[in-house]
Amino acid sequence: MTIACIGLGNMGAPMARCLIAAGHSVIGFDPQTRSDGIPCAPTAALAVQDVDVVISMLPNGDILRAVCDDIYEHMSQGALHLDCSTVDVQSAKDTAQAAEIAGLMAVDAPVSGGISGATNGTLTFMAGGKADAFAKAAPLFDIMGQRAVHCGASGSGQAAKICNNMILGATMIATCEAFALADRLGLDRQSMFDVVSTSSGQSWSINTYCPAPDIGPNSPADNAYTPGFSASLMLKDLRLSQQAAKATGAVTPMGERAMEIYADFVELYGMGGMDFSAMLPHLEGQSR
């Protein structure tokens, strides 16, 4: 396929490189970033001309809408817009509707797996959109990731991502709290991990992404909390979850409290550039 990649940041650039390595013709565009090994067009409108697929990885719904307003008139009829950004559900639905009006196909497919997943082609895609659009995207999912789930109509991919990361944010806080408490109780961290990772407290936050250095599989904790998924991005996703909860009337007290805790972590303590698992050393330094 011929593919335009709009947004070449920490996630978009390695995803584009995976597609190039697989033999696809890729042209990128990012107003602020130029990435090694990815040919770039001077504008988004020029990047999307005569391509089969446009893949976008953008910071928020407002920027997504603006990009779509800019590129849709320049895309070929029947081309696919595969948006891998994490945005609010309504933005995903609105851009899908705009794509249909323009004679295009659209899939919202936010990802899980972080920078390492984008680099290694092991992302999980949560996709929303029509079945034929998902089928067109499927070969690309196979290159950039290890799993893609068609969650339903447009916006469903964003809904799945928001719900997933609300769980992730809350469980990471609970995991870090448990390690901080175990430390004060004199429990060895390795023993703590060995018990919890094989008992009813097990979760992705401890089994795969343990926030304690030198415990369990390699994680950002073993690299001074250099982000695989930054605390600022976790806060963004938790805010999206609470925006959705408010819009639908859902009761999410744990999600709301997790958002408040990460808001303090990022905005009060200035830790937004650290991995979201750096909540552990943050809690260690606090007392009742």
Known catalytic residues?
161
Is the distance from CB of 1 to CB of 25 less than 8 angstroms? yes
Q: What is the rounded CA–CA span in Å between residue 111 and residue 215?
A: 26
283 vs 93, 94, 110, 176, CA distance in Å? Answer: 39, 40, 30, 7
Alpha-carbon torsion (232, 237, 242, 246), positive or negative: positive
Largest CA distance in the chain: 65
How do 123-129 and 111-112 pair as beta strands? Answer: antiparallel
- In 3D space, the residue among 25, 129, 29 whose CA is nearest the CA of residue 80 turns out to be 129
Q: Which two tokens stand for residue 186?
A: 């004199």
Q: What is the rounded CA–CA span in Å between residue 262 and residue 17?
A: 32
